[in-house]
Amino acid sequence: MLIDTYGRVATDLRVSLTDRCNLRCTYCMPEEGLQWLAKPDLLSDDEIVRLIDIAVRLLGVEEVRFTGGEPLLRPGLVGIVERVAALAPRPRMSLTTNGIGLGRTAAALKTAGLDRVNVSLDTLRPDAFKTLTRRDRHKDVLEGLLAARAAGLTPVKVNTVLMPGLNEDEAPDLLAWAIAHDYELRFIEQMPLDAQHGWKREGMVTAGDILASLRTRFDLTPEDAGERGSAPAERWLVDGGPYRVGVIASVTRPFCAACDRTRLTADGQIRTCLFATEETDLRGALRSGAPDDEIARLWRLAMWGKKAGAGLDDPSFVQPDRPMSAIGG
């Protein structure tokens, strides 16, 4: 079991498969990209599967989310999913992706054992997409979403970040589009995880702003609090249901007290929080020949030291040195 001093138990593992990405979203990285990790620093496919096996067999992890960077850029992704699906106990598996390339891989991922996907899409307007991502790939993302739904990677969740002056007016249109396509839309407050450290709280579109905008067109009824559990998104029934919309208010309504996550970076470090400034090296233990029990002990020790919260409301908050692409969302 992965338990911390506040009694929280981590059962959800986020696994970053690569720090690379084929988009350059303004809230994540600079236009020229970043200095990518050297290939020898990345965990191999075998190392990733071994660590996930330790997590589910010895540490009580029940769900695995593959992230990046962009996980579809990982050459061995389908094979990793297939091997993790064969573990006992078998964890639930999902993938967070920008959707580019999903049109080609959705069916294979479903066959390999992937359960569902989260796809990032911030706008319905191709011109705004190009401005936000610095790439002209809007059509590819829409095709990827359709392929995911057709393959049965459901519920297909769409993650959206609203930015002032770019797409903050699109919330109602995005929700109407998501309902029409049977996607579950989740708005995410912009978080301080950009490589250029340009995030400012006063320039952020907040959960309150998002809900106010949605209510200009839809009737929103809060979901029963008991249904949320440890999920990061607060959800509302749209016009009485059955469709729902979620808002992940990491900054203005933090949910740290119910956090059940542990994170493995692409280079084999354990992070207890997206905003943590400390890491625990499991790659070194793996490559020095440590047995599974020792690796599990190191992992437990890392989680025991997890802080009470991310500290975003603390004036002394220090943004992590690693951008989101290297940590895994």
Q: Which residue has the higher pLDDT, 166 or 212?
A: 212
CA–CA separation, 104 and 22 (whole Å): 16
Tell me the per-residue pLDDT of 272-325, one tens digit each, with 9 for 90 and over.
988 788 899 999 999 999 999 999 999 999 999 999 876 555 544 455 555 555
Where does residue 30 fall: left (phi above 0), alpha (psi -120 to 50 degrees), or beta otherwise?
beta
pLDDT for residue 296? 98
Q: Which residue has the higher pLDDT, 63 or 135?
A: 63
Residue 106 in contact with residue 144, Cβ under 8 Å? yes
CA–CA separation, 110 and 35 (whole Å): 32
User: Which of 54-63, 83-92, 167-176, 191-200 comes out lowest in average pLDDT?
Assistant: 191-200
In this predicted structure, the answer to whether residue 17 has a pLDDT above a threshold of 80 is: yes
Q: Which residues contact 146 (CB under 8 A, 6 or more apart)?
A: 103, 181
Residue 189 in contact with residue 251, Cβ under 8 Å? yes
Q: Take residue 285 and report the two structure tokens written for it.
A: 């233990």
| Interval 195-224 mean pLDDT | 81
Query: For the sheet containing 244-248, what is the strand order?
Result: 220-222, 234-238, 244-248, 184-188, 157-160, 116-120, 92-97, 63-67, 12-16, 261-264, 269-271, 280-281
Q: Which residue has the higher pLDDT, 170 or 317?
A: 170
104-130 per-residue burial string, b: 16 or more CB within 10 A, e: under 16: ebbeebbebbbbbbbbbbbbbeeebbe
pLDDT for residue 329? 55
In this predicted structure, the answer to whether residue 112 has a pLDDT above a threshold of 70 is: yes
Q: Which residues contact 313 (CB under 8 A, 6 or more apart)?
A: 254
First to last CA, the chain: 23
Residue at 70: amino acid letter: E
pLDDT band at residue 213 under the 50/70/90 scheme: very high
Residue 30 in contact with residue 24, Cβ under 8 Å? yes
CA–CA separation, 27 and 65 (whole Å): 21
Residue 118 pairs with which residues in a beta bridge? 96, 157
Q: What is the DSSP string of 151-189?
A: HT--SPEEEE---TTTTTT-HHHHHHHHHHTT-EEEEE-
Q: Which residues contact 127 (CB under 8 A, 6 or more apart)?
A: none
Contacts 24+ apart (CB under 8 A), 280-284: 282/51, 283/41, 283/43, 283/47
User: Which of 17-31, 256-270, 303-317 comes out lowest in average pLDDT?
Assistant: 303-317
pLDDT for residue 196? 47
| Interval 2-21 mean pLDDT | 94
Q: Within 10 Å of residue 86's Cβ, how many Cβ atoms? A: 12
- At residue 301, the 3 state secondary structure works out as helix
- At residue 49, the 3 state secondary structure works out as helix
pTM above 0.85, yes or no: yes
CA–CA separation, 207 and 215 (whole Å): 12
Q: Within 10 Å of residue 52's Cβ, how many Cβ atoms? A: 22
Mean pLDDT over all residues of the chain? 88
Q: Take residue 11 and report the two structure tokens written for it.
A: 């059962």
